[in-house]
Amino acid sequence: MSEQIEQALDRKYEAGFYSQIESDTFETGLDESVIRRISEMKKEPQWMLDWRLKAYKTWLKMDEPDWAHVKYPKIDFQAISYYSAPKSMADKPQSLDEVDPELLRTYEKLGIPLHEQEMLAGVAVDIVFDSVSVITTFRAKLEESGVIFCSISEALHRFPDLVKKYLGSVVPRADNYFAALNSAVFTDGSFVYIPKGVRCPMELSTYFRINEMNTGQFERTLIIAEEGSHVSYLEGCTAPQRDENQLHAAVVELVALDDAVIKYSTVQNWYPGDENGKGGIFNFVTKRGICHTNAKISWTQVETGSAVTWKYPSCILKGDNSVGEFYSVALTRGYQQADTGTKMIHLGKNTRSTIIAKGISAGNSNNTYRGLVKMGPKADGARNFTECDSLLIGNKCGAHTFPYIESRNPSAIVEHEATTSKVSDEQLFLCRQRGLNPEKAVSMIVNGFCKEVFKELPMEFAVEAGKLLEISLEGSVG
Amino acid sequence: MSQWLTQVIDDAKRVDDFLAPMRQQALSKLQTQGWPHARSEEWRLTPLTSIKERTVEASSVAVNYIVPQIKGLNPIDLVFVDGVLVTNLNDIRLPTGLSVHALSDAPSAAQTKITALFGHVKPTRHVFGLVNDAICQQGIYIEVDENCSIDTPLRIVNLATKDCDAHTRALVNLGKNSQLKVIEHGSGSAASFTTAFAEYAIGQEARLEHYRFAFFTGAAKQVGGSHFSLQDKANLNSTLVAYGSELSRLDVDIIHAGEHANAKMNAIYLLAEGEFFDLHSTIEHAMPNGTTEENARGIIGDRARAVFSGRIHIHRDAQKTLAELNNRNLLLSRRAMINTKPELEIYADDVKCAHGATVAEIEEQALYYLLSRGIKRSKALVMLNFGFIQELVNDIDNENIRTWLSPMLSERFASMEVK
Amino acid sequence: MLKINNLHASVEDKVILTGLNLEVKPGEVHAIMGPNGAGKSTLGYVLSGRDGYEVQQGDVSFKGEDLFEMDIEERASNGLFLAFQYPVEIPGVSNMEFMKESVNATREQRGEERLSATEFLKKAKEACNQVQLPLDFLKRGVNEGFSGGEKKRNEIMQMILLQPSLCILDESDSGLDVDALQVVANGVNSQRDSTRSFIIITHYQRLLDYIKPDFVHILADGKIVKTGDASLALRIEKEGYAFLGKEYEGASA
């Protein structure tokens, strides 16, 4: 029956259209002058430019990492344009009425209406189109409670001290090859600041779209949750269908001060390439958060897109009693390759972490979980629980698990379990005997497999994630 | 490049015997790949500096040595002292169906079989395996005829008594439907460097009961491996017990080259003081319907450090494989450290695979029970956790080995104070 | 309802059914008994269309249509229900969402509206009570961690919800104590009417004390070798299968 399952997994990429929007795009290529131009366009302070240039110099000396279980052609960094923005953005629109209607239509097509009255109540959205943030909704309402939600370029002007203090504090400039590149050329991204004791009144969300050809997207997100504050943040992404690979190298930094809680959810649906593995996004992302005393960071991700994914949202559990969580569903099909997982670095006493990773591989794809759990010498009473489950569909794909565990503390407890399974013929038969068609049956079984992760998503996203899997499983069944 | 490796390569160039073509291959691989990179996944956690800077010390025949005894076992002993075979093979009586030859003195019929086995089970990625291929002249070839079941255990002993380089090799061929028990027994604490590799070809429906005791301690440095290839319906039951030393690294490869083969491997490591032990195991399921069960359990005390890497690789054709790997560890001190990495790499969909790794897992109910009987928490933890080592000891088939190991391990464990 | 004509079928190249004939009319209850390995379960699997069960010869019409022209799920939504002997677990998929999809697939086939969540919940609760399963079984994963008896009752609950026209019960009584057996039997009896038919595959006469069959067939060597009324089952209970002929003497009843 696996043939039927594979057919059921065939799907179309629904976000693959291109929008005709006039853009200002840099010619391709990367050198110091490009970085100076980016900085200049954004009217950045000198320290920011210096920071970028230092990152660039470090990057030049670094080697592209080759340890991940992925294969892709060497990236030509000179063939990428490092800046592209809709022309209409020359003067940043102050309200939705000033936004290019074609841009608004793009988002409507993607199912994200930007008019506040049409939106799901309770979600504020920042829109990043190619290299720039286009608009952030519900700002007034958020500012009433002191929450700052704006593009990072804007934050650099309005709250330079905050940016200077925290930018690079969790993911240092030279952290890794792609983070160093991002530090040098990042163009925009979201900035969130939740003041002390404030529970953010609505979900915050950023929606990333790559539209132009030959551009890379290098955004940077910084979320600061002051003592005792709470925030839930969502991230979504899509790109047009193209034969060329495009690079997305983002950095996300989360700072959860004492007793703060940050929940960060991602539904990643970058263009995965066609059925022969041509085209698609290279998604090389560094995401990391630091937890101070009693703080909690929870990462939830649903990864269905990208040709190649290289992504390890991590937590540094610095403060005593802090908590890190990682819930992940990664679905690969066609020729997709995903190497994703997390790092939980336990430094403080009684720190806790939970990792639940579900990988589904189909077609000719390869799906890898890679994780690190590290118990430092001072992490008395620390505890980790990890569960990695793989589901294989067909026998041309691969499912891999590479967990690294390091412990230096006798009172710390680490537990790791991994299993692999398939959609069994018996399960499929039972579902069909009860009248379900194979597509519905597979999607139901796969959804059941992912349930532990989906229940961690905020309501709006859980629905989207469910639908995404449904779409994934739609197709012709003979 | 390392000073030691350069010298070894020079020395190896002068070795000339019937294995020359294989030695040549190993040499050219060594020359191209060189000394392992500090970041190489295979070696990054193994402290190789002392070898890298080492000066090659040639071995010579030892005069005084004591071969450790296992009471009641009465094995056929093949003894290497400081890398030199000291057993006179003409003096030992072999049961029918079993033949043993020294590599240096193998008749031409045996040479053909040795050539077919040498370096064919052990993967070529192992730098010290290549060194051993290139330079090792002290070795033995063991063969069991088809349908022969050998009751007397064979023991291959490696003793380290002085500062020298020792390279030994064992090649073992189990004919179709044969049975054999082999013990690889390493011991000593002199500042030597030993590479001891063994390759086993287990024929159709043959059974191998295997033990490897790596009791090198103190300044004795060893890098070695036991490598198995299993034909259709072959059966392997292997138990590995190790202490640590300045440098102790073992690689185990189990290759399911035939269908319906079964492999079981248990590993125990007890590390005290500043000892280091590193176990890399790789299970290759290349054919369908195989089963593998691996349990590795260790206790790491004081300033000791353990590394475990356990890889299960299910190839595209290995449908209906059942493979399980479990690694459990207990740290006894704040300065002790464990790096563990169980890996699954799976390319077939109709398989059942699982792995697990834990560090300091407590069974809450059992702990509560002991505490309620007035036992101190730290002591209770130790009792519970030595229990999981004892479980693997109890799982050993051979009664003499069990009775020999059990008190020895608990004594060592008792000396590893909980801090 | 169902007409089986000269059915020959095999599994993994092993011939199991060798010319089976059976006609089931609306409202009838047929019991199929027989020694181990006679092909009783195979019959259920062939009728429901399980992969790997190859039909060599013969034809089956279901409600006047060629059964073998239909996919597994088409047969199901057309009213053919198989209660499994060993129902499989589907982790993470709740009984509730599973049955809702299943019921709605059947309703769509019949051209009826999908049930709303509230309507469905009401029906599900009733069915759950009827088979005496606690209501939290609706929330649990399909058969996940259920005991043998709970799995069997869960099958009957699904049968009650789906309202099929032909129910095939494959050893729904095996492994049940007397109380559970009664629950299963009551579930079945509550569904009996002049339009719905049952094929009850069983090893023991016991279940037939509670569900009175119209016909009892003995399946041996892949075909029906004897047909009678309820008294035939009692005779097997007493004498075993010996009266079928020498080769069945050892077969247990």
Q: Do A433 and C99 touch (CB under 8 A)?
A: no
Decide if B180 is inside a domain: yes
| Mean pLDDT, residues B47-71 | 88
The encoded tokens of residue C85 equal 């002997």
| Mean pLDDT, residues C66-78 | 88
Q: Do A413 and B337 touch (CB under 8 A)?
A: no
3-class SS of residue A348: coil
pLDDT value at B407 more than 90: no
Question: Please, which pLDDT band fits residue B128 given cuts at 50, 70 and 90?
Answer: very high
Contact A472, A329 (CB under 8 A): no
Range of the domain at B10: 3-258
Find which of B44, B312, B359, B379 to mutate to test the A interface (most A CBs within 10 Å of its CB). B359
Predicted pLDDT of residue A127: 74
B362 Cβ under 8 Å from any chain A Cβ: yes
Predicted pLDDT of residue B17: 92
Q: From the CA of A477, how many Å to the nearest CA of chain B?
A: 20
Contact B192, B166 (CB under 8 A): yes
Q: Which of A241-255, A374-388, C157-171 shows the lowest mean pLDDT across its residues?
A: A241-255
Rounded to two decimals, the pTM is 0.85
Number of domains in chain C: 1
H/E stretch holding C75: helix C72-77
Range of the domain at C47: 2-252
Average pLDDT value over all residues in chain B: 92
Predicted pLDDT of residue A1: 45
**What residue spans define the domains of chain A?**
23-271+282-304, 312-477
Predicted pLDDT of residue A120: 52
Instruction: Kindly provide the b/e burial profile for residues B109-141, where b requires at least 16 CB atoms within 10 angstroms of the residue's own CB.
Output: ebbebbbebbbebbeeebbbbbbbbbbbbbbbb
Find which of C72, C78, C106 to mutate to test the A interface (most A CBs within 10 Å of its CB). C72
Q: Do A432 and C71 touch (CB under 8 A)?
A: yes
The encoded tokens of residue C154 equal 């869960």
Average pLDDT value over all residues in chain C: 87
Residue of A nearest to B42 (CA): A67
In this complex, which of B41, B336, B347 lies closest to A398 when CB atoms are compared?
B347
pLDDT digit string, tens, across residues A102-158? 767 776 666 666 665 455 555 677 777 776 666 677 777 888 899 998 888 889 999
pLDDT value at C176 more than 50: yes
pLDDT above 90 as % of chain A: 41
Find which of B349, B358, B364, B419 to mutate to test the A interface (most A CBs within 10 Å of its CB). B349
Contacts of A393 in chain B (CB under 8 A): 349
Decide if B411 is inside a domain: no
Number of domains in chain B: 1
Q: Do B353 and A411 touch (CB under 8 A)?
A: no
Q: Using a threshold of 3 CB pairs under 8 A, tell whether chains C and A touch.
A: yes
The encoded tokens of residue B333 equal 């001190």
Q: From the CA of A315, how many Å to the nearest CA of chain B?
A: 19
H/E stretch holding A248: strand A245-248
Decide if B159 is inside a domain: yes
Q: Do A397 and B349 touch (CB under 8 A)?
A: yes
In this complex, which of A2, A375, A418 lies closest to B349 when CB atoms are compared?
A2
Closest CA to A438 of B321, B390, C49: C49
Chains touching B, CB cut-off 8 Å, 3+ pairs:
A
Which three-class secondary structure string do you get for chain B? CCHHHHHHHHHHHCCCCCCHHHHHHHHHHHHHHCCCCCCCCCCCCCCCHHHHCCCCCCCCCCCCCCCCCCCCCCCEEEEEECCEECCCHHHCCCCCCEEEEEHHHCCHHHHHHHHHHCCCCCCCCCHHHHHHHHHCCEEEEEEECCCCECCCCEEEEEEECCCCEEEEEEEEEECCCCEEEEEEEEEECCCCEEEEEEEEEECCCCEEEEEEEEEECCCCEEEEEEEEEECCCCEEEEEEEECCECEEEEEEEEEECCCCCEEEEEEEEEECCCCEEEEEEEEEECCCCCEEEEEEEEEECCCCEEEEEEEEEECCCCCCCEEEEEEEEEECCCCCEEEEEEEEEECCCCCEEEEEEEECCCCHHHHHHHHHCCCCHHHHHHHHHHHHHHHHHHCCCCHHHHHHHHHHHHHHHHHCCCC
Predicted pLDDT of residue C252: 45
Predicted pLDDT of residue C67: 92
Checking A436-441 for CB contacts under 8 A at 24+ apart, the result is A436/C73, A436/C101, A436/C102, A436/C105, A437/A477, A437/C73, A437/C105, A438/A1, A438/A4, A438/A5, A438/A8, A438/A477, A438/C73, A439/A8, A439/A473, A439/A474, A439/A475, A439/A477, A440/C101, A440/C105
Find which of A337, A378, A407 to mutate to test the B interface (most B CBs within 10 Å of its CB). A407
A381 Cβ under 8 Å from any chain B Cβ: no
Q: Do C92 and A452 touch (CB under 8 A)?
A: yes
Closest CA to C73 of C7, C162, C190, C170: C162
pLDDT value at A373 more than 60: yes
Residue of B nearest to A411 (CA): B360
Decide if B149 is inside a domain: yes
| Mean pLDDT, residues B376-385 | 68
CATH number of the domain that C33 lies in?
Answer: 3.40.50.300
Residue of A nearest to C159 (CA): A434
The encoded tokens of residue B289 equal 């319907």
Decide if B74 is inside a domain: yes
Question: Please, which pLDDT band fits residue A64 given cuts at 50, 70 and 90?
Answer: confident
Q: Do A401 and B338 touch (CB under 8 A)?
A: no
